[in-house]
Amino acid sequence: MIEAGYRLLKPLERWGTALENALLVLLLGAMILLATTQIVLRIGFDQGLIWADELLKILVLWVALIGSVATSRGRRHLRIDILSHYVPERFARVPVLIVDAFAALVCGLIAWHSARYVLLTIEFGDTVLVDVPAWAVQGVLPVAFALMAYRFALYCLKELLELLRRAPVETAP
Amino acid sequence: MIAVSILLVLLAVLGAPLFAIIAASAMLGYHQEGIDLMAIAIEILGLAEMPFLAAIPLFTFAGYLLSESGAPQRLVRLTGAVIGWVPGGLALVALAACAFFTAFTGASGITIIALGAILYPALQHDGYPDDFNLGLVTSSGSLGLLFAPSLPLILYGVIAKVPIDSLFRAGVLPGLLMLVMLSGWSLWVNRANRRPARDFSFREIRAAVRESAWELPLPIVVLGGIYSGFFAVSEAAAVTALYVLIVEVGILRDVKVRELPRIMRESMLLVGAILIILGVSLASTNYMIDARVPQQLLGLVSEMVTSQTSFLVLLLVFLLILGALLDIFSAIVLVVPLILPIAAQYGVNEIHLGIVFLAAMQLGYLTPPVGLNLFIASYRFDKPILDVCRATLPFLVILLLSVIAITFWPQLSLLLAG
């Protein structure tokens, strides 16, 4: 049953990672191109694209959120890493289990409330970049946090199962 | 409320992601004040309102790409050719090369992996004592934090709303002080081993310069561009990213095109980790400012200290403890907004404050229990963590002395800041 679950999730994880990577490459590439084009326009022709600065800032927001989703995949978010190096192996799973559950809960809450916010901006017809509906840009917020919540919940579940099975702890590199 | 706060601290110590802790505390604050939790979405979207923030992903990517290329080897060769002929020169080469590389790669521990791997065996080969080598490589991993265009400097500028080019200028002399003090100490410790790393040779210098010809314009264009005001910091970052991409992938072909997606992803992991903390702390900071936390802190502090000097003493002690517990990026984002108004009350210049903050945080890379460099070096060189701590201790003491000097000698930071 558990094995079947893992088998189902495997391709999902693979496609998810590929999508994350593609998005990060695209966003970063767009940032480099947009910012350098803007410089060439400024220096060479003494002008610039009016919407470029706003778009660049939106790209930063997207990179931050998608990057954060990617970061959650390896559990590589910044944390106060006091215990993990010192806790005896036998107890190592318990704190991980607790903090992942907590992180899942917080991300879920943020996803829920930011979804409410985005729905509200649709109602008000907010726009960015002159006439792009705001939800197209801001929608990344609930999606990213929902994905992180999902990821943390999955890790939490995995730790729980391994704890029950008394599997040995994989030592971090 | 106190119980919940203790619970959050406990979760943080257990290793919960810091952004989740910060977000939770902000949402608790909202809940108490009867503010709709939707507000957190608005605050995080504030990431798209901050000026110059694009510099962080762009410089980070350029730094990762450089560290994956042959640039570290070329840098060590060039530094060796230029200063390696000084007696005890290899230690100086190591310090200078690491400082330069850290400035360009954002102080995330990459230096130890990229340069330490070259320098550590070289130092061993030249007969330097093992403890010295380990300590040197470990502490050099965060040296150069005060030099432009390091990420912490940029982040401080964004958070404190201080002109980033002033900060870049302000970091020069304090950074040099650290470098000079460590160099002096290295020479003194190895006074028995006065072997130069190599003989002085114009031919070697010429060869090393020719080998690095494509990378040499980079610091000149970037730093010259920023210092002269020709480029904004985010523009300089974009130019750097594009230039490094063209040179390392297109011209020198040190990095293959198919390796690019992995490097881009790797670099954006760090960026995601930093910026998500920035995003949620926009929420917690605004809440704390609304709740007049800085004023309460000021009231507390002003009962204890009255003069600027005693404030600086208190600040330094606080920052050293903070640095031992929190990484530099989270510390900047979380703490700077709270101490800025307090420091202003004591007449501490915000640029000087920034340099003191970062210099003190640099020590945090080397102090247990969470010092990043200690763990990276322990892992990379396969040494027990306690050995690394012991080997690093003398370097830590020298750096501490330099931080004290930087704190109580504001002119050092402000002379060039303008």
pLDDT 10s digits, B217-233: 888 888 888 888 888 88
Q: In b/e form, how buried is each residue of B316-332, taking b as 16+ CB within 10 angstroms?
A: beebbebbbbbbbbbbb
CA B281 to chain centroid: 20
Structural tokens at position B225? 């561009």
For residues B391 and A81, the model is more confident at: B391
* pLDDT score for A34: 94
* B residues 364..393 contacting A (CB < 8 A): 369-370, 375, 379, 385
At how many degrees (to 10) do helices B233-244 and A2-45 cross?
110
Shortest CA gap B148–chain A (Å): 20
Where helices occur in B161-216 by DSSP H, the ranges are: 164-170, 172-189, 202-211
pLDDT over threshold 80, residue B276: yes
pLDDT averaged over every residue in chain B? 89
Residue B117: pLDDT band by 50, 70, 90 thresholds? confident
Render pLDDT for B151-203 as a digit per residue (tens, 0 to 9).
Answer: 899 999 999 999 988 999 999 999 999 999 999 999 898 888 777 777 788 88
Chain A positions touching B386 (Cβ under 8 A) are none
Its pTM stands at 0.90
CA distance B235 to B251: 22
CA distance B415 to B355: 13
List, run by run, the mean pLDDT of 10-residue segments along chain A (173 residues): 71 86 94 92 83 91 94 83 71 85 96 94 82 87 95 90 72 43
ipTM given for this complex: 0.90
Given an 8 Å threshold on Cβ–Cβ distance, is A138 in contact with B265? no
Residue type at B38? M
Residue of A nearest to B368 (CA): A82
Chain A positions touching B23 (Cβ under 8 A) are 106, 110
Cβ of A41 under 8 Å from any chain B Cβ? Answer: no
CA distance A47 to B353: 37
Q: Which residues contact B387 (CB under 8 A, 6 or more apart)?
A: B134, B378
* A residues 140..159 contacting B (CB < 8 A): 141-142
Structural tokens at position A154? 């999955």
Q: Closest to B41 (Cβ–Cβ): which among A67, A71, A114?
A: A114
* pLDDT score for A172: 44
Question: Which of B30, B59, B265 would you mutate first to test chain A, the one with the most A CBs within 10 A?
Answer: B265
Given an 8 Å threshold on Cβ–Cβ distance, is A114 in contact with B40? yes
pLDDT over threshold 80, residue B287: yes
Beta carbons of B359 and B406 less than 8 angstroms apart:
yes
Chain A positions touching B47 (Cβ under 8 A) are 60-61, 64
Chain B positions touching A109 (Cβ under 8 A) are 27, 37
Residue of A nearest to B262 (CA): A21
What does the pLDDT average to over B328-340? Answer: 90
Report which of B97, B101, B91 is spatially closest to residue B123, judged by C-alpha positions. B91
Residue B349: pLDDT band by 50, 70, 90 thresholds? very high
